[in-house]
Chains A and B, each alone.
Chain A
Amino acid sequence: MTIMRPQDILLPTAAGLCCKPGGFHIDPVRSVERAVITHSHSDHARAGHGAVLATQETLDMMRLRYGENFAGSTQAIRYGEEIRLGDVSVKFHPAGHVLGSAQIAVSCQDTCIVASGDYKDAPDPTCTPFELVPCDVFITEATFGLPVFRHGDAADEVKKLLASVALFPERAHLVGAYSLGKAQRVIALLREAGYDAPIFLHGAMESITHYYQSRGIELGELRPVKGVKKAALAGTITLAPPSATSDLWTRRFPDPVTAFASGWMRVRARARQRGVELPLVISDHADWDGLTATIAATGAGEIWVTHGQEDALVHWCKSRGLRAQPLDLVGYGDEEETETPLGDEAEA
Chain B
Amino acid sequence: MNRFAELLDRLAYEPGRNNKLRLITSYFHEVGDPDRGYALAALTGALSFKHAKPALIRDLIAARTDPVLFGLSYDYVGDLSETVALMWPKGVVNNDKSFPGYPSPQPSPASAFAEASADRRGEGAQQRTRQSTNTTTDNNFGSDGRTSLSVPSPLLSAEASAKADAGEGQGGGYPGRDNDESLRPRNHNNPPPPTLTEVVTTLRTLGKTELPAQLTRWLDELDETGRWALLKLVTGALRIGISARLAKTAAAALGDKDPHEVELIWPGLSPPYLDLFAWLEGRTEKPVNRDPAPFRPVMLAHAIEGTDFATLDPADYIAEWKWDGIRVQAVAGRDDRGHITARLYSRTGEDITGSFPDLVPALRLPGAIDGELLILRDGRVQSFNVLQQRLNRKVVSPKLIKDFPIHLRAYDLLGDDENDLRELPFAERRERLETFVRKLDDPRIDLSPTVPFASWEALTAARADPVSAGAGEDAAAVEGVMLKRRDAPYLPGRPKGQWWKWKRDPHIIDAVLMYAQRGHGKRSSYYSDYTFGVWTEGDSGDELVPVGKAYFGFTDEELLQIDRFVRRNTTEKFGPVRHVVHEPYKGLVLEVAFEGLQRSPRHKSGVAMRFPRISRLRWDKPPREADRLETLEKMLKTEAAELEA
Most buried by A among B13, B69, B98, B171: B171
537-590 of chain B: CB within 8 A of chain A = 575-576
CB distance B76 to A267 under 8 Å?
Answer: yes
Check if B12 is an interface residue, CB within 8 A of chain A: yes
Q: How far is the CA of A274 from the CA of B520 in the complex (A)?
A: 10
- For A271-295 the 0/1 string (1 means CB < 8 A from B) is 1111111110001001101101110
Q: With A150-B168, A297-B100 given, is the CB distance from A290 to B72 under 8 Å?
A: no
**Which of B14, B19, B164, B174 meets A153, CB within 8 Å?**
B164
Contact A301 B177 (CB under 8 A): no
B599 nearest CB across to chain A (Å) = 30
A255 lies within 8 A of B224 (CB): no
> Out of B12, B65, B68, B173, which one reaches A268, CB within 8 Å?
B12
Binds B, one of A18-26, A66-74, A310-318, A327-335: A310-318
Report B-chain residues with C-beta under 8 Å of the C-beta of A322.
124, 128
Task: Tell me the bound Cα distance from A149 to B76 in angstroms.
Answer: 11
Closest Cβ–Cβ distance, residue A251 to chain B (whole Å):
6
Contact A246 B101 (CB under 8 A): no
Cβ of A236 under 8 Å from chain B: no
- Contact across chains for A275 and B576 when beta carbons are under 8 A apart: yes
A297 adjacent to B121 (CB under 8 Å): no
Question: Within 8 Å CB of A198, what residues of B?
Answer: none
Contact B177 A309 (CB under 8 A): no
**Docked-complex contact B13 and A299, CB < 8 angstroms:** no
Q: Known contacts A297-B175, A316-B66; is A266 also within 8 Å of B170 by CB?
A: no
CA distance A226 to B78 in the complex (A): 40
Query: How many residue pairs bridge A and B at CB < 8 Å?
Result: 199
Most buried by A among B19, B83, B113, B169: B169
In the bound complex, residues from chain B placing their C-beta under 8 Å from that of A134 are 113, 116-117
- Flag if B76 contacts A148 (CB, 8 Å): yes
Q: Does B87 contact A (CB under 8 A)?
A: yes
In the bound complex, residues from chain A placing their C-beta under 8 Å from that of B576 are 246, 273-275
Select one of B86, B102, B121 contacting A150, CB under 8 A: B86
Interchain nearest-CB distance for B524 vs A (Å)? 6
Q: How far does the alpha carbon of A251 sit from the alpha carbon of B560 in the complex, in Å?
A: 12
Residues of B within 8 A of A130 (CB): 173-174
Closest Cβ of chain B to A268, distance in Å, is: 6
In the complex, what distance in Å separates the CA atom of A122 from the CA atom of B15?
Answer: 33
Residue of B whose beta carbon sits closest to that of A319: B66
Residue of B nearest to A136 (CB): B121
B521 x A294 contact (CB < 8 A):
no
User: Which A residues from 121 to 162 make CB contacts under 8 A with B?
Assistant: 121-123, 129-132, 134, 136, 146-154
**B82 & A121 in contact (Cβ 8 Å cutoff):** no
Asked if B77 and A148 make an inter-chain contact with CB atoms under 8 angstroms apart, the answer reads yes
- Size band of the B side of the interface? 35 or more
Contact of B525 among A131, A149, A250, A273 (CB under 8 A): A250
Q: Are B101 and A121 in contact (CB under 8 A)?
A: no
Asked if B127 lies at the interface with its beta carbon under 8 angstroms from chain A, I say: yes
Q: Is the interface of A mostly helix, strand, loop or mixed?
A: loop
Q: Are B525 and A154 in contact (CB under 8 A)?
A: no
Contact with A along B466-487 (1 / 0, CB 8 A): 0000000000000000000000
State whether A316 touches B69 (Cβ < 8 A): yes
A167 in contact with B22 (CB, 8 Å) = yes
Known A168-B22, A309-B72, A315-B66: A293·B176 in contact at CB below 8 Å:
yes
Contact of A122 among B12, B90, B172, B575 (CB under 8 A): B172
A165 to chain B, nearest CB (A): 13
Q: For the complex, is A247 an interface residue (Cβ under 8 Å from B)? A: yes
Name the A residues within 8 Å of B177 (CB-CB): 121, 289-290, 293-294, 297
Contact call A132/B171, Cβ cutoff below 8 A: no
Contact with A along B504-541 (1 / 0, CB 8 A): 00000000000000101110110000000000000000
- CB–CB B521/A311 < 8 A: no
Q: Would you call A273 and B19 a contact (CB within 8 A)?
A: no
Confirm or deny: A96 has a beta carbon within 8 angstroms of a beta carbon on chain B.
yes
State whether A289 touches B176 (Cβ < 8 A): no
User: Of residues 229 to 281 in A, which have CB atoms within 8 Å of B's CB atoms?
Assistant: 246-251, 255-256, 258, 266-269, 271-279
B128 CB → nearest A CB, Å: 5
Q: Are B15 and A297 in contact (CB under 8 A)?
A: no
- Report how far A68 CA is from B12 CA in the complex, Å: 47
Interface contact B522-A122, CB-CB below 8 Å: no
Does any Cβ of A come within 8 Å of B99's Cβ? yes
Whether A296 sits at the interface, judged by CB under 8 Å, is yes
Residues of B within 8 A of A312 (CB): 68-69, 72-73
B106-136: which have CB < 8 Å to A?
Answer: 113-114, 116-118, 120-121, 123-125, 127-128, 130-131
A315 touches B173 (CB 8 A): no
B26 at the interface (CB under 8 A from A): yes
Chain A residues with Cβ under 8 A from B13's Cβ? 271-272, 276-279
Is A5's beta carbon under 8 Å from chain B? no
B228 to nearest A CB, angstroms?
8
Q: Which residue of A lies closest to B87 (CB)?
A: A147
Interchain CB contact under 8 A, A297 and B101 = yes
Q: Does B254 contact A (CB under 8 A)?
A: no
Residue ID in chain A nearest B23 by CB atoms? A167
* Cα distance A8–B87 in the bound complex, in angstroms: 38
User: In the complex the two chains form, what is the Cα distance from A272 to B114 in whole Å?
Assistant: 42
Q: Verify A248–B113 contact, CB threshold 8 A.
A: no
The answer to whether the Cβ of B335 comes within 8 Å of any Cβ in the partner chain is no
| Cβ B69 vs Cβ A299 within 8 A | no
B72 touching A299 by the CB < 8 A rule?
no
Closest Cβ neighbor of A290 among chain B residues = B171
Q: Are B113 and A247 in contact (CB under 8 A)?
A: no
B127, A277: Cβ atoms under 8 Å?
A: no
Q: Within the assembled complex, what's the spacing in Å between the Cα atoms of A246 and B519?
A: 10
Interface centre among B77, B118, B130 (most CB of A within 10 A): B77
A255 touches B521 (CB 8 A): yes
Contacts of A269 in B (CB 8 A): 77-79
Q: Does A321 contact B (CB under 8 A)?
A: yes
Closest Cβ neighbor of A279 among chain B residues: B13
Q: Are A246's CB and B524's CB within 8 A?
A: yes
In the assembled complex, the Cα of A258 lies from the Cα of B520 at a distance in Å of 10
- Chain B residues contacting A267 (CB-CB under 8 Å) are 76-77, 82, 86
- Chain A nearest CB from B156 CB (Å) reads 12
Contact call B173/A96, Cβ cutoff below 8 A? yes
> Contact at A297–B113, with CB atoms within 8 Å?
yes
Identify which of residues 142-176 in chain B touch chain A, using a CB-to-CB cut-off of 8 Å: 164-165, 167-176
CA distance in complex: A271, B575 (Å):
12
Q: Of all chain A residues, which has the CB nearest B76?
A: A146
Instruction: Give B86's nearest chain A residue, CB to CB.
Output: A148
A249 to B525, CA, bound (A): 8
Q: Are B525 and A247 interface neighbours, CB within 8 A? A: yes
Residues of B within 8 A of A148 (CB): 73, 76-77, 82-83, 86-87
A286 lies within 8 A of B171 (CB): yes
Given contacts A146-B76, A255-B522, A271-B13, contact A289 B174 (CB under 8 A): no
Complex Cα spacing A66 to B520, Å: 36
With A148-B86, A255-B521, A256-B524 as given contacts, are A123 and B173 in contact (CB-CB < 8 Å)?
yes
A interface list, Cβ under 8 A from B: 96, 120-123, 129-132, 134, 136, 146-154, 167-168, 246-251, 255-256, 258, 266-269, 271-279, 283, 286-287, 289-290, 292-294, 296-299, 301, 309, 311-312, 315-316, 319-323
Task: Please list 6 pairs of residues, one from A and one from B, whose beta carbons are closer than 8 Å in the complex, sorted by A's number.
Answer: A149-B86, A152-B169, A267-B76, A286-B171, A299-B101, A309-B76
Please give the residue numbers on chain B whose beta carbons come within 8 Å of chain A beta carbons, in ascending order: 10, 12-15, 19, 22-23, 26, 65-66, 68-70, 72-73, 76-79, 82-83, 86-87, 90, 98-102, 113-114, 116-118, 120-121, 123-125, 127-128, 130-131, 164-165, 167-177, 180, 223-224, 518, 520-522, 524-525, 575-576
Instruction: Give me the 5 closest cross-chain CB pairs, A-B, nearest first.
Output: A297-B176, A299-B117, A301-B124, A296-B101, A148-B86
| 18 extra A-B contacts, CB within 8 A, seeds A123-B172, A129-B174 | A121-B173, A122-B173, A132-B173, A134-B116, A146-B69, A147-B73, A148-B73, A150-B170, A246-B518, A267-B76, A277-B14, A289-B169, A289-B177, A293-B101, A297-B101, A297-B175, A299-B118, A320-B128
